[in-house]
Homo-oligomer: A and B are copies of this chain.
Amino acid sequence: MKRIMIAELSSYLNQEVVVSGWVHRLRKLGKIAFIILRDKSGLVQCVIDTKTIDIKDLKLEAVIKIKGKVKLAQGKSESLEIQVISIDMLSPAHEDLPIEINKENMDISLDVMLNNRALSLRNPKLGAVLKVKAVLAQAFSDFLIKNDFTQIFTPKIVAQGTEGGSNLFELNYFETKAYLAQSPQFYKQIMVGAGFERVFEIGHVYRAESHDTKRHLNEYVSLDVEFGFIQDEYEIMELENRLLDFMMKEVESKCSRELELLGAQLPKVPSEIPKMKLSEAISILNQKYNLNDLQTDLSPKGEKLISEYIKGEYNSDFVFITHYPQSKRPMYTMPYGEGETRSFDLLFRGLEITTGGQRIHDYTQLLENIAKRGLSKEQFKDYLYIFKYGMPPHGGFAIGLERITSMLLGFDNVRYASAFPRDKMRITP
């Protein structure tokens, strides 16, 4: 008999079925025993007559195959249970569990959770986070393909960094040194110029930042977008606006079980996400919140407060902060006026999840900007190459996948959204 998933049981009332999964809970009451069986689709109670079926060696988390009859659970008209006919052991549990993953909310520290990550992910709530993450990534890709973007795969082993040297992991590459890419920034621009026009990449990026915060990982997944033949940065924000709307709707329709489990409230994406110049945001923070130390950027506290302000004024969980100063943006950012740029950050519920903007496409202007910053054009030789031969006006953005996932689901630490996070203290499991 073919295995069916627990979520399909309602179609099999009063019929014999085979289900397989992990022993999530186990309770023996005299001649009767109850197993809560868990598979990837859900949980079901299985009732065992211990006179005919021996379960004395059964441990929590053993993998078993159950043949049984689907019944309405006694006393509860809406839930189903399985009256067990036979149990096959597929894979025993050899040891008692180091953590209680069958509890709804595991009372363990983040460190213990991560040290036992392969097991803690079996907890339905913790596993649900990564399912939502997968749907977000897929929605990102689906939307962009529908909008005529091409997926690209660019190298993570690079000869030098994007921004000029800091925060790079160094690698022994045969007889030379190489680095892990901090971002696909240069490559995605090059691919736009190489004729692909509209590209996206879903890939790992690496930041050798030694500070240990709740919002940073040293290896994370970047959802990168870049496209050409644009008017200005507003066209980029407009695309991201529609993209986010699509991503949220996909999560809503495909992750109802996960959202319910996690008690997560999806944001409504406004048809036009509010935009605010950085200078205006700073002035509001100054006047209304007495935050006086901000000059050219928002602090984490500033991001939180301005998000609260926007929520109050416009009822939006999102806000684009625009016109960052040139001093705070990399050399490839398109200037705007004397000191500003055509760039933006997107804040979501108080956290920056995107940086984006229009880039310089004119070769001469790019050379000038590199010189102005005291950088050497030699260092950017491979990047500059394509700008010599006709580069359309272009721009893009990147979304941190773990950040958007964790913020969406109400976790205050991005590590919950990484299967096996890498930080200064952790390269295992």
* A contact residues vs B (CB 8 Å cutoff): 3, 20, 22-23, 38-40, 61-63, 90-95, 97, 116-119, 121-122, 127, 130-131, 133-134, 137-138, 141, 145, 148, 150-159, 169-174, 176, 178, 180, 187, 190-191, 193-198, 202-204, 206, 208, 210, 218-219, 221, 229, 361-364, 382, 385-393, 401, 418-420, 422, 424, 427-429
What are 17 of the A-B contact pairs (CB < 8 Å)?
A20-B392, A38-B195, A61-B390, A63-B392, A91-B362, A91-B393, A94-B388, A118-B190, A119-B386, A121-B195, A127-B195, A127-B196, A153-B204, A153-B419, A154-B420, A169-B173, A171-B180
Say whether B92 contacts A390, CB under 8 Å.
yes
Contacts of A202 in B (CB 8 A): 202
Say whether B195 contacts A153, CB under 8 Å.
no
A96 to chain B: closest residue by CB: B389
Q: Which of B93, B150, B152, B361 contacts A390 (CB 8 A)?
A: B93
A420 to chain B: closest residue by CB: B155
| Distance of A319 from chain B, by nearest CB (Å) | 28
Say whether A361 contacts B91, CB under 8 Å.
yes
Say whether A171 contacts B171, CB under 8 Å.
yes
Contacts of A169 in B (CB 8 A): 157, 171-173
A152 to chain B: closest residue by CB: B419
Say whether B196 contacts A130, CB under 8 Å.
yes
Given A191-B419, A428-B382, A150:B134 Cβ within 8 A: yes
A64 to chain B: closest residue by CB: B390
Say whether A150 contacts B178, CB under 8 Å.
no
A208, B157: Cα distance in complex, Å: 12
Say whether A134 contacts B151, CB under 8 Å.
yes
Q: Which of B3, B196, B391 contacts A63 (CB 8 A)?
A: B391
A305, B83: Cα distance in complex, Å: 56
Say whether A389 contacts B95, CB under 8 Å.
yes
Contacts of A154 in B (CB 8 A): 419-420
Say whether B97 contacts A389, CB under 8 Å.
yes
| Distance of A230 from chain B, by nearest CB (Å) | 10
Contacts of A61 in B (CB 8 A): 389-390
Contacts of A63 in B (CB 8 A): 390-392
A191 to chain B: closest residue by CB: B419
Say whether B131 contacts A150, CB under 8 Å.
yes
Contacts of A20 in B (CB 8 A): 229, 392
A361 to chain B: closest residue by CB: B91
Given A118-B385, A154-B420, A176:B427 Cβ within 8 A: yes
A170 to chain B: closest residue by CB: B172
Contacts of A145 in B (CB 8 A): 138
A63 to chain B: closest residue by CB: B390
| Distance of A376 from chain B, by nearest CB (Å) | 16
Contacts of A3 in B (CB 8 A): 229
Say whether A195 contacts B150, CB under 8 Å.
no
Q: Which of B97, B156, B420 contacts A204 (CB 8 A)?
A: B156
Q: Which of B40, B130, B133, B141 contacts A197 (CB 8 A)?
A: B40
A155, B22: Cα distance in complex, Å: 26
A130, B363: Cα distance in complex, Å: 26
Contacts of A194 in B (CB 8 A): 117-119, 121-122, 127, 419
Contacts of A178 in B (CB 8 A): 427
Contacts of A158 in B (CB 8 A): 427
A170, B173: Cα distance in complex, Å: 8
Say whether A150 contacts B130, CB under 8 Å.
yes
| Distance of A224 from chain B, by nearest CB (Å) | 14
| Distance of A90 from chain B, by nearest CB (Å) | 6
Given A424-B174, A427-B158, A40:B196 Cβ within 8 A: yes
Say whether A91 contacts B391, CB under 8 Å.
yes
A137, B150: Cα distance in complex, Å: 11
A97, B386: Cα distance in complex, Å: 11
